[in-house]
Amino acid sequence: MIDIRLLRSNPDLVKENMKKKFQDEKIVLVDEVLELDAQLRQIAQQADELRSQRNKSSKAIGALMGQGKKEEAEAMKAEVAAIGPKLDELAAKETELQGEVRKRMLVIPNIIDESVPIGKDDSENVEVERFGEPFVPEFEVPYHTDIMEKLSGLDLDSARKTSGNGFYYLMGNMARLHSAILTYARDFMINKGFTYCVPPFMIRSNVVTGVMSFAEMENMMYKIEGEDLYLIGTSEHSMIGKFIDTTLKKAELPQTLTSYSPCFRKEVGAHGIEERGMYRVHQFEKQEMIVICEPEDSMEWFKKLYENTVEFFRTLDIPVRTLECCSGDLADLKVKSIDVEAWSPRQQKYFEVGSCSNLGDAQARRLGIRVKGEKGNYFAHTLNNTVVAPPRMLICFLENNLNEDGSVRIPEALRMYMGGMDVIR
């Protein structure tokens, strides 16, 4: 949610930002907010005038009573009494208008950074840099489910019986590898100076609307029937929500946290053949990193966060690239975003394994996360990034570490988490 003062002072900037994001249908919202805001300020002025009148009259009543002018005092009391219902009526109208303004402000997109490339959708995202040499082995790389099933590590059929499509059982060494990757990711981030956290896996609706747009919420979140609770789609939701209605001292910043959680997602929409198996699922686990910082430091932290993910994947011998999201591919709250994509020898292309986002003060403004400054309070900036998210990570891991005989190499960094094992057979 942008600052309404920006919309008042520079509505053309807000409209131009919508055009850059190819959301022309939202432009009308700017004028609607300005009209509603003008009504709100008019009502506030009327209410102030009535309160001032009531205060003056109340003082005058005392003076009239002291002078023995009871009839005049009683008449003025009646006038004062009539002010109360008028103020109540104005207060009700003010609440209604505030709701209408907020409803529109919540869907007006955040102002994107000047460096964001302009493009309509993810097909126009821009490659930034590659790390590691992508390669294709001389032997054929099977589909990831075939690799896992051959190693007795995956049972999709049983999961369909218990839970339906989009779920899975991991078994044996494959389940162990899954846990090893997450444990390594935890320690990797702790060694980077981040504080480890396991958050609540359910959050209330006010937190959901504080961390994401309505469109994202509708497409992602599972609601608990009969409760004001949602299953989280990522631990970022809980972790940012942890600071709701909090005022932090400058000395307490930055807050750098790394969190583990299961994630639950609807994954609405049709998916292609390469997104079968464990690519798009309704339940998975993830190690996340979030930062709450001073506004002037957020771009520096943005770079550090996606570099952490790049480094993590390179320690596991997986080639990756960074891809900058264009304007049309940015979610409404985001100022700037970079995806980290891993190399797939089977598909001979990269696919997304993590996303790093700078949200400016959008989430902080919605959730009331402030910094106590020397000249008053202001909103913090929030950032988040994926460290690693099995099972998608398992796909690129298996393809990049597969041997011709079907066994899978274990890179040095993971062996201590696999009981010293250097290969899965």
Residues 139/145/149/151 CA torsion (nearest 10 deg): 50
pLDDT of 273 strictly over 60: no
Widest distance between CA atoms in the chain = 108
Whether the upstream peptide bond of residue 142 has omega within 30° of 0, thus cis, is no
Query: pTM score, two decimals?
Result: 0.88
What is residue 268's predicted lDDT score, i.e. its pLDDT?
A: 63
189 CB-near residues (< 8 Å, 6+ apart): 196, 258, 287, 289, 308, 387
Return the exposure string of 392-420: e unless at least 16 CB atoms fall within 10 Å of the residue's CB, then b.
Answer: bbbbbbbbbbbeeeeebbbbebbeebbee
Q: Which residues pair with 414 in a beta bridge?
A: none
3-class SS at 72? helix
Return the exposure string of 331-367: e unless at least 16 CB atoms fall within 10 Å of the residue's CB, then b.
Answer: bbbbbbbbbbbbbbbbeeebbebbbbbbbbbbbbbbb
How far are the Cα atoms of 290, 309, 356 from residue 304, in angstroms, in the given order?
11, 9, 10
What is residue 61's predicted lDDT score, i.e. its pLDDT?
A: 79
What are the phi and psi torsion angles at 371 (to 5°)? -115, 135
What distance in Å separates the CA atoms of residue 216 and residue 203, rounded to the nearest whole number? 15
Nearest Cα neighbor of 260 from 302, 220, 232, 280 is 232
- The tens digit of pLDDT for each residue in 289-346 reads 999 999 999 999 999 999 999 999 999 999 999 999 999 999 999 999 999 999 999 9
Confidence of residue 275 (pLDDT cuts 50, 70, 90): low
Indicate left, alpha or beta for 132 from its phi (over 0: left) and psi (-120 to 50: alpha).
left
Quick one: DSSP state of residue 138? S
Helices 11-20 and 27-66: crossing angle in degrees, nearest 10, is: 150
Nearest Cα neighbor of 297 from 331, 339, 253, 341 is 253
Once rounded to an integer, what is the mean pLDDT over residues 23-28? 96
pLDDT of 59 strictly over 60: yes
What is residue 77's predicted lDDT score, i.e. its pLDDT?
A: 83
**Mean pLDDT for the chain?**
93
Residue type for position 58: S
- The tens digit of pLDDT for each residue in 368-385 reads 999 998 889 999 999 999
Structure tokens belonging to residue 389: 């998210």
pLDDT of 190 strictly over 80: yes
Domains and CATH numbers, the chain: 4-105 (1.10.287.40), 122-424 (3.30.930.10)
Enclosing H/E stretch for 208: helix 205-211
